[in-house]
Amino acid sequence: MMNQFHFHHPASDRLCQPGARTAIGPINHHRLFSRSFWLPLFLLFFATITPAQIPEAGSADGDRLVVYSGRAERLIKPVLDLFQAKTGIRVDLLSSGTTELVNRLQAEEERTPADLLITNDAGSLERARELGLLLPLGMKTVEQAIPPSFRASDNSWVGLSGRFWVLVYNTTLLKPTEVTSILDLAEPRWKGKVAIPNAGSEYLQAGVSVIKAIYGDDRTQQYLKGLKANAGTDVFGKSSQIVDAIAKGQVAMGLVNHYYLYRYLADHPGAPLALLMLDQQEGGMGAIMNVAGVGIIKHSRRLNAAKRLVEFLTAQEGQKLFADLNKEYPLRPDVLADPSLPQRGTFRVATVPLAKLGELREPTMALIEQAGLR
């Protein structure tokens, strides 16, 4: 349950072209993880790629690791660089969209050079677990560090850092009392005033999955259609673009992960921006949470080194790096979040189990597509 994160209790942008604002063609979300759809494409891809573009599978030596990462490189590379400096284990990082990486692992099977998978989204990790791509682990240090609500049922993946889907708004265009629930954003009075991520965003997919789990399909579909109508052309490929548009007064508010606001304010300290943790009213579902996480690939040839990396990422030092560098919430209860963030215990969190995000992914994608979001 989410309240194990010690709050008070009651997943990619890369799927669209960088810089693209709107209007990419419809995505058949039902087939994104389909082996029959992707395998021919990956075989063609592997036939044309040069050896330098794929790290060697290598021997069972423990002096290097290959990490497939669905996270933006700037968010994860500094942490991996420190691990490399401390241990002498070289980390080769391959960054791409999480969906592409999961399908790549399916195509590579036992030939994969990858040792670990890092993603933006617990639902993607759960999907990889369901596909048999990850290795269940019995690591007492990790189990003691990270609460059960942020790990797979068989410990084949573990959460590393938490983020909340929040409403960022322009303080000159919106009063904080005007919106209390994420469902309010579908009301006709906000037409032309809401910015949203595109349909390929893991953040959107995870957020809608939580809404679906709590309110059901009909209410969620109604919400999505209202959100689409209100956003109009303010559909963005990157969360940083949403925050920039809000700061410039092009739109009054938008949905992003909380850390995008703090990153923007670090570069533009005078920007008229603030955030709202939504659905805190009586009977509200609580803030929508997701986690970035890691799993060890079942066919890893360097298991001991891979376990060392997982231990480092979940140890106090690694957790503090996520807090300090990225303004994310550490998942270890004994590591504090940045003091500029809304602090643990001051707001309620939605109680949908993170593992359920994997189960809900495909039906959620169907709802998003049926609503006409692009």
Identify the sign of the CA torsion 157, 286, 259, 226.
positive
- Element spanning 347, H or E: none
What is the structure's pLDDT at 137?
Answer: 87
Give the residue from 277, 248, 273, 253 showing the smallest Cα distance to 196. Answer: 253
What is the structure's pLDDT at 62?
Answer: 60
What is the structure's pLDDT at 344?
Answer: 81
Q: Report the chain (374 residues): mean pLDDT per 10 consecutive residues.
A: 35 35 35 44 41 42 88 92 96 94 96 97 95 94 95 96 97 97 98 97 95 97 98 96 98 97 96 97 96 97 97 96 94 95 92 93 96 94
- 224 in Cβ contact with 8 (< 8 Å): no
CA distance 89 to 86: 8
* DSSP one-letter string for 180-223: -SGGGGGSGGGTT-EEEE-TT-HHHHHHHHHHHHHHHHHHHHHH
How big is the CA angle at 237 (ends 233 and 240), to the nearest 5 degrees? 105
Instruction: Tell me the domains of the chain and their CATH numbers.
Output: 19-162+290-340 (3.40.190.10)
326 SS3 class: helix
Give the residue from 186, 189, 180 showing the smallest Cα distance to 284. Answer: 180
246 contact partners, CB below 8 Å, separation of at least 6:
168, 169, 170, 195, 252, 253, 254, 273
Question: What is the pTM assigned to this prediction?
Answer: 0.82
- 309 in Cβ contact with 296 (< 8 Å): no
* DSSP one-letter string for 240-303: HHHHHHHHTTSSSEEEEEHHHHHHHHHH-TT--EEEE----STT---BEEEEEEEEEBTT-S-H
Rg for the chain (alpha carbons), in Å? Answer: 20
**Tokens (6 digits) for 339:** 């003091």
- 158 in Cβ contact with 295 (< 8 Å): yes
